[in-house]
Amino acid sequence: MKLLLEIPLNRLSFGNVSYNLVRELHELGAEIGIFPIGDNIDLSAFDLSEELKTYIEDAINQRWDFLKPHIPCLKLWHLNGSENRKNKDQYLFTFYECNKPTDPELALCANQDLTFFSSTEAQKHFENKGLKNTAAIPLGFDRDFYRTDKTYLKDVVHFGLMGKYENRKHTQKIIRAWLKKYGNNSKYQLSCCITNPFFQQDQMQQLLNQTLDGNHFNNINIIPTLAKNSEVNELLNAIDIDLTGLSGGEGWNLPAFNATCLGKWSVVLNSTSHKDWATHENSILIEPSGEMPVADGVFFNEGSPFNQGTFYTWTEEEAIAAMEKAEAKVGQLNTEGVKMGDTMTYSKTVKDILSHIFKD
């Protein structure tokens, strides 16, 4: 089996998915070529074996040998930027967070042999517009994450919030709701790993100051960007409750999903991709209270050819009530979340992708 990949190799969420796909392809013995997307190849977040490192290096060095009409290409990228093909047959794996596909987005999907969406809801948005060449394939639990069973903060209920600071993710709203309920109460702590790499340091600090309204709270911890996945694993193990699932629009939401698979309790908005993995049994679900325009003047712009529609919202009262409900479960392992991590694997993700690409 030969496959050409066009993927980002970095520390961001797309890079994490790419890494896991490549690792599974290596274990399947697939012959691959890799055209890295972007100039910055950075695998420093991952603890690679020498064998896998060599496999990736060889795939990059031999990529030109895979520019053949009979070799299919799998591209992992945004819809915006998926117009170019390396080989005759191209399959796109993408993450869609909005709900109103635009004409350019529909045209780009139609131009693929098949577009894989990580979210069932996203796939349906495009299918409802008449596209036949789409499929929904869920992601898996990254096996580099595991339970450490350490005690981190004794007699403290530890909340966590991960993912880049963004209006879509309701970052400010989540922090303010938590502070309203738990601020300056030493029995509780909120650890936030929310640096957005697309903001300058002074911009990021200004956003944090605005979020806190210039006030000082002794139980909120702002964590800088974590360089390695092993550090992320420590943070996910240290918290009791994850709040990342309160995002208003996601293509998957790796931090919330990974925390749940580790047996933590996640407060999750029952919308977009969350519906593919979060249930009443493994998460503290709240229903959307309404919708808001995607436009934020930074990452999403009104009238753009891409990313249009609305994100979902929630009320502060319901979010706080869900936090209280999660708090009552602290000390209990989320066994249904752990079971999900055992059954939703990247091995299944890759085999599902390959079953479509090599269906003949």
pTM reported for the whole predicted model: 0.96
* Shared-domain flag, residues 218 and 121: no
Structural Rg of the chain based on CA atoms: 20
Mean pLDDT of 313-318: 98
In a domain, residue 146? The reply is: no
SS3 138: coil
pLDDT at 310: 98
In a domain, residue 74? The reply is: yes
In a domain, residue 114? The reply is: yes
pLDDT at 35: 98
With bands split at pLDDT 50, 70 and 90, how would you rate the model's confidence at 170? Answer: very high
With bands split at pLDDT 50, 70 and 90, how would you rate the model's confidence at 181? Answer: very high
CATH of the domain at 270: 3.40.50.2000
Domain residue limits at 235: 157-343
Residue 44: is its pLDDT beyond 90? yes
Name the phi and psi angles at 85, rounded to 5: -110, 145
For the chain, how many structural domains are there in total?
A: 2
Closest residue by Cα to residue 178 from 267, 49, 253: 267
* Shared-domain flag, residues 44 and 74: yes
Burial letters 142-177, b for 16+ CB under 10 A, else e: bebbeeeeeeeeeeebbbbbbbbbbbbbbbbbbbbb
* Shared-domain flag, residues 187 and 335: yes
Mean pLDDT of all residues in the chain?
A: 97
* Shared-domain flag, residues 134 and 209: no
With bands split at pLDDT 50, 70 and 90, how would you rate the model's confidence at 359? Answer: confident
* Shared-domain flag, residues 284 and 294: yes
In a domain, residue 149? The reply is: no
Mean pLDDT of 5-21: 96
pLDDT at 161: 98
* Shared-domain flag, residues 353 and 328: no
With bands split at pLDDT 50, 70 and 90, how would you rate the model's confidence at 10? Answer: very high
* Shared-domain flag, residues 206 and 327: yes
* Shared-domain flag, residues 128 and 198: no
In a domain, residue 147? The reply is: no
With bands split at pLDDT 50, 70 and 90, how would you rate the model's confidence at 274? Answer: very high
With bands split at pLDDT 50, 70 and 90, how would you rate the model's confidence at 145? Answer: very high
* Shared-domain flag, residues 135 and 104: yes
Mean pLDDT of 17-46: 96
pLDDT at 172: 98
80 by Cβ neighbours in 10 Å (0-12 / 13-18 / 19+) ranks as middle
* Shared-domain flag, residues 10 and 23: yes
In a domain, residue 167? The reply is: yes
pLDDT at 39: 74
pLDDT at 304: 96
